[in-house]
Amino acid sequence: MIGPNSKRSAQAQIAAQGEPMVWLSGGMFAIACLMILSLLAFVLWQGLWTLWPRNYSIYTRNDGSLVGGELYSKHFQDGQNKLYLRVGNYDVSNRHFAYVSSLELADQTPWADPDLWLVERKEWGNLYGFPKELSWTKTTQDHFADQVTQGMRETAKIDRQLAQAKNELKRIDGDIAEARLSIRRVELAEKVDLQRAVESGSVEGLSPAARRAIGQLADRNRRADDAMVQINERIAELEAKRSERSVLFELPIAQELGTLTAPWSELSAGVVGDVQAFAKLIGVESNASSPAISVEPVGKELLLCKVAVEDQSIRRFWIRRLGETTCSVSGLQEHTILLADVVRFFPTNRLGLFQRLGVYAGRWWEFLSGAPREAGMEGGFFPAIWGTVVMTIIMSMAVMPFGVLAALYMREYAKRGWLLSLIRISINNLAGVPSIVYGVFGLSFFCYIVGGYIDGGPKKAGFEPWPSAVWFSALGLLALVSLAAFAVAVLSGQAEARRSPLRSMLRWAGGLLWLATLVGIVWLLIKSPHFQGFYQAQLPNPTFGKGCLLWAALTLALLTLPVVIVATEEALSAVPNSLREGSYACGAGQWQTIHRIVLPYARPGIITGFILAMARGAGEVAPMMLVGAIPLATDLPLDGEFPFLHGSRSFMHLGFQIYSLGFQSQNSEAAKPMVYTATLLLLAIVTLLNQTAIWLRANLRKRFQSSQF
């Protein structure tokens, strides 16, 4: 018999083996994996589906009105299906997307016209409609795509010429602005007002530098006037050619024309009995060669009538049933767009699988390499990708040396004690500080203080300069302190007893003197009466006294510095002491041991921390809101224009772009699909960085292990 004691012993044995904890920990692990995979699957599905070309469907409401669009999602809520449609034609309908309840629809089955075209535009978003007329040629429906493609090629040449002309105007404006800055510099240096001399053209009594600056400005203005007249004439000519090519579309938006008396049974069967009355109602003349009329059912109470007129174009009309013998006739609203505004066009309801794949690949290429359109809701994300990459590289170049050297000193050189423990605790606490705090610090310190000092000197940074006599006296005192620090350092090195109280006291005194020297140098810089900034002539417009690429990179370098220090110190602590002792036994010094043994062995861990810091910096958003990222930047921070790397420019950041589209966009609901796609791109970049870290770590570890044998 099995008694209570045997049951308790069996339970105790199971508990002792830890089987319940195994199942509990395994279950928690499965839940965590499920949560992560669910998030990734959701973002992956939404992000990849955004750019896929969809059909444009038309629905009939209960009141007889029409609503059409690309179906983006369908979900069940409050006992009804809600359709999320991209209706497009924003310049006419004033909306990009619309929610439609299934209870509002008279017919749940949508209708898709194969003749409808989708036009992706540079402005106003997508346009959906039926092509009716080209302004520069006469064509049929079969040759419409060829004519538009040829016209787009010719318009693209005109756009390139326009861009060259506008760049020339920009260069001329830059030359004139530089000449005006030269005059401003002379004014600041000589404390004179040259504006009257510039207006009058008189240079009597002025210095040679002022005369030279005024002469340069006059010469550049004269050359600019001659060049700008020709360039403006060229631009006007190109703009006229650009506006000559336009396309007239019929939009699937009904406009009431009147009522028609005709049996509904005949119309639904495709027969128009009184052709004369119908032609008069729709404004088409009916004669011996009366227009060909075709009628096809769209819904239970709706018909589409196509009329072929003499110029071989097709006009479309909606016929809605009012009674057994009474119908309402509605025309399609017409809208003209310039061909220069067209990015891509295709018959969205007639695409096959491979054609859809071609459009999908083209949209992805534009997304990765193009410029944003429609406030970032359309077009590409290349400026945001490029800005993120450049900022991350600069951040890495700033954080890596400081982080590695700091961890190296703390692990290999610093004396163990309460001070080192306090520093480690502080670094760990800094790793948990919210990122917005770093953003506020970067804005107040880097942008306002350091940037203001670079632009306009101490006064611009908020410091009152000392008088010259006081400043030079402080400089002399600082020189004495630095000499004393050097002398104390020499004396401490000559002390015979390594641990004598005198040597320890000299080392402390030397450290304090060097610290006082460093503080004195900084204080003399911010109190200098002889420095007025590098960009004083451009004030009050700041150059570095605002958010820009440089300050954003340095702010994120501070944010990721604890990550690099902790990862590097852990990698150094993983190096076996036996390797150090063997190196010392062979006669190597401490630096030789660190350089030849410790750092190569710890390199995989150091690089892993470096890549993880890059991944975190690439995804941070809160500091970017304050120190340099903007929703739309026309100039890249790194381009082919001298000096190539523009640290004073604001830039676009991928993480900030996601925030801007999702929460600050004019129509955040319409921007939601692009938010998912940008999120997918950011996750792909972070994943790529992490995989790069794993690959580098594995290869370096394999190389180091193979070199030992």
pLDDT in tens, 138-173: 766 667 788 888 888 888 888 888 888 888 888 888
User: Does residue 525 register a pLDDT over 80?
Assistant: yes
Of 280-294, 362-376, 405-419, which range is least confident? 280-294
The pLDDT of residue 554: 92
User: Does residue 660 register a pLDDT over 50?
Assistant: yes
The pLDDT of residue 709: 44
CA proximity to 647, closest of 538, 534, 547, 537? 547
Pair (502, 561) in one structural domain: no
Report the mean per-residue pLDDT for the chain. Answer: 81
Pair (646, 514) in one structural domain: no
- 640: which 2 tokens? 């082919």
Pair (619, 484) in one structural domain: no
CA angle 551, 552, 556 (to 5 degrees): 115
Let me know if residue 162 belongs to a domain.
no
User: Does residue 521 register a pLDDT over 70?
Assistant: yes
Query: Where residue 708 falls among pLDDT bands split at 50, 70, 90?
Result: low
Which residues, in sequence order, are CB contacts of 616 under 8 Å at separation 6+?
559, 560, 563
Pair (417, 482) in one structural domain: no
Pair (561, 523) in one structural domain: no
Count the domains in the chain: 3
The pLDDT of residue 1: 46
Let me know if residue 350 belongs to a domain.
no
- State percent of the chain over pLDDT 90: 4
CA proximity to 653, closest of 675, 674, 631? 631
Pair (686, 588) in one structural domain: yes
Let me know if residue 202 belongs to a domain.
yes
Pair (556, 488) in one structural domain: no
Pair (629, 483) in one structural domain: no
Pair (523, 562) in one structural domain: no
Let me know if residue 570 belongs to a domain.
yes
Query: Where residue 441 falls among pLDDT bands split at 50, 70, 90?
Result: very high
User: Does residue 361 register a pLDDT over 70?
Assistant: yes
Asked if residue 414 lies in contact with residue 406, where contact means CB atoms within 8 angstroms, the answer is no
CA proximity to 697, closest of 611, 637, 577, 569? 611
Q: Region 247-276: what's the mean pLDDT?
A: 79
pLDDT by residue (tens digit) across 111-145?
888 888 899 888 888 889 888 888 877 766 667 78
Let me know if residue 383 belongs to a domain.
no
- State percent of the chain over pLDDT 70: 88
- Kindly report the pTM of this predicted structure: 0.81
Q: Distance (Å, rounded) from C-alpha 619 to C-alpha 99?
A: 32
Pair (436, 478) in one structural domain: no
Helix (H, G, I), strand (E, B), or coil: what is residue 330? Answer: strand
Pair (680, 658) in one structural domain: yes
Pair (427, 571) in one structural domain: yes
Q: Distance (Å, rounded) from C-alpha 563 to C-alpha 609?
A: 7
Let me know if residue 293 belongs to a domain.
no
Local structure of residue 411 (DSSP, 8 states): I
Higher pLDDT, 217 or 351: 351
Q: Distance (Å, rounded) from C-alpha 117 to C-alpha 349?
A: 8
Domain final residue, candidates 214, 244, 274 = 244
Higher pLDDT, 197 or 548: 548
- 342: which strand partners? 121
Query: Where residue 551 falls among pLDDT bands split at 50, 70, 90?
Result: very high
State the residue for tokens 């059909």: 55
Let me know if residue 40 belongs to a domain.
no
CA proximity to 137, closest of 125, 146, 128? 146
Q: Region 277-306: what's the mean pLDDT?
A: 73
Integer CA distances (angstroms), 518 to 97, 508, 524, 530, 540, in order = 61, 16, 10, 20, 32
Rounded to the nearest angstrom, the gap between the alpha carbon of residue 497 and the centroid of all alpha carbons in its chain is 61
Domain final residue, candidates 184, 215, 244 = 244
Kindly report the CATH number assigned to the domain that includes residue 400.
Answer: 1.10.3720.10
Q: Region 554-578: what's the mean pLDDT?
A: 89
Q: Region 335-352: what's the mean pLDDT?
A: 88
Domain span holding position 470: 466-527
The pLDDT of residue 285: 65
User: Does residue 555 register a pLDDT over 90?
Assistant: yes
Q: Distance (Å, rounded) from C-alpha 349 to C-alpha 324?
A: 32
Let me know if residue 611 belongs to a domain.
yes
